[in-house]
Amino acid sequence: MTGPMASLDGEHLGTPTPGGADIETCDAAEGLAAIGNPGVELVIWRRALPSRLQTWLEGMDPSRLPDMRFLVQPSDLRQAVESRLDDCGMPRGDMRDLLIGDVDGLVSAFAAITRSDLVDVRLERVSNDSCWKFHRDYVEARLLTTYRGPATEWVHPHHAGQALREQKQYTGPTESLGKNDVAVFKGSSAGPDSGIVHRSPPIAGTGRTRLLLCLNMPSATSPEPWPRGLEHKTLHS
């Protein structure tokens, strides 16, 4: 992005984004930096993680999946995550190391894209319909990827206004991120008419549990910087 960005965490049910907004895809983490280009509202990194990691996560008791949030320097990410994964009982080993390594790489990439010294990291266990409404995030930029369960759904800007108005009654085209895809998108704080309309897929009553990574720039709702903020457990949409 151009210049330092400040954001407020939350969501915004706003006016439509113009249909001319650009949606881009890439095949490497470096391509996510295209979100800083004028007119680009969403960049999706189409990628695949080792199938053994997916199998390991899908077979894990949901109670052992992390549900954490902290504000951290990228250089401290591994240490911060390790201690919290021990707390939730996620088994140590190659698969856990692979998960931590992936989160570490995405945090570093997001910090570089947004020129942030600190990143607000949420690695969140979701088994309900939180954030089921179509909305725009009240941030300048956000990164999302789903390690387990169905991934984030989004609406092309051409249909954004209809989805925001109709919500559960909306039957128009809806896109979905692929398994392990990484999305970086602009929110409504990025400028007039910015913000990709999206939602978390409804899963209440299905018995499914998602594992979602959400990265933001520091905001007024962020916890204290790690390690002082290590015990902050409140998650915000």
CATH number assigned to the domain comprising residue 99: 2.60.120
Q: Which pLDDT tens digit goes with each residue over 41-73?
A: 999 999 999 999 999 999 999 999 999 999 999
Length of the chain: 237
What is the span of the domain harbouring residue 212? 11-216
Asked whether residue 237 is domain-assigned, the answer is: no
Q: Which pLDDT tens digit goes with each residue over 139-194?
A: 889 999 999 999 999 999 889 999 999 998 999 999 999 989 999 998 777 666 77
Beta-bridged to residue 4, according to DSSP, are none
Asked whether residue 222 is domain-assigned, the answer is: no
Asked whether residue 151 is domain-assigned, the answer is: yes
Domains held by the chain: number: 1
The residues, any chain, with a CB within 8 Å of residue 178's CB and separated by 6 or more, are 46, 151
Asked whether residue 225 is domain-assigned, the answer is: no
User: What stretches of 105-148 adopt beta strand conformation (E)?
Assistant: 119-126, 136-137, 141-148
Asked whether residue 182 is domain-assigned, the answer is: yes
User: What is the value of pTM for the model shown?
Assistant: 0.85
